[in-house]
Amino acid sequence: MAITDLNLTGTPQGSGTMPRELIPLHVNDISALARNIRSAYADREKQPSHLEVLNILAKSAGYKNFQHLRSGAKEPVKEEKHPVIDRASVERVARCFDKDGVLTRFPSKRPDQISVLWVLWSRLPARTKLTEAEVNALMKAWHSFGDHALLRREICDAGLVSRTRDGRVYIRMELPMPPLAQAIARQIADK
């Protein structure tokens, strides 16, 4: 979803005699914008100033700060350099694993399930053909709730592992691991 008609101003409404400067802001992902704003407010004891809110919005849209947005920068800072990681999601998904990295429960929320599947995907050997029995053995070793078939099906359905029509050969798809899933895997490894 894109926000194309949001205008930021450099001065608060009714703050003086300076004319308002309209500055358009384009956001590709409104959900990411909401998460970034929520995480920026989470650690605050007091309400942020007008400029702090402008900086939060600009950073959420991929700019360095409000000044960078205001300067008319044609290209926002690449989001991949320093993605904002939702720490609450990292903690929530990491709690599904015990201190040894064994999955103790499969989360109910689909985004958390996908993150768990990425962690399991990261443990599969790259560019290696596996039989169904080998995948089952790995999944059994990596979880403790007794449903390795669920994990095998879900990881395939999520497109992280491909299998032949007859289900004899499985191979991990070589995909870039999302930053959130990387953070979760690190959190689990550090337990």
Using a 10 angstrom Cβ sphere, with 0-12 exposed, 13-18 middle and 19 or more buried, the burial of residue 8 is middle
Q: Which of 126, 103, 89, 120 is nearest to 191 (CA)?
A: 103
> What pLDDT, on the 0 to 100 scale, is given for residue 11?
47
Average pLDDT of the chain, as a whole number: 83
Mean pLDDT of 122-147: 97
> What pLDDT, on the 0 to 100 scale, is given for residue 156?
95
> What pLDDT, on the 0 to 100 scale, is given for residue 83?
73
> In this predicted structure, which of 16-30, 118-132, 165-179 has the lowest mean pLDDT?
16-30
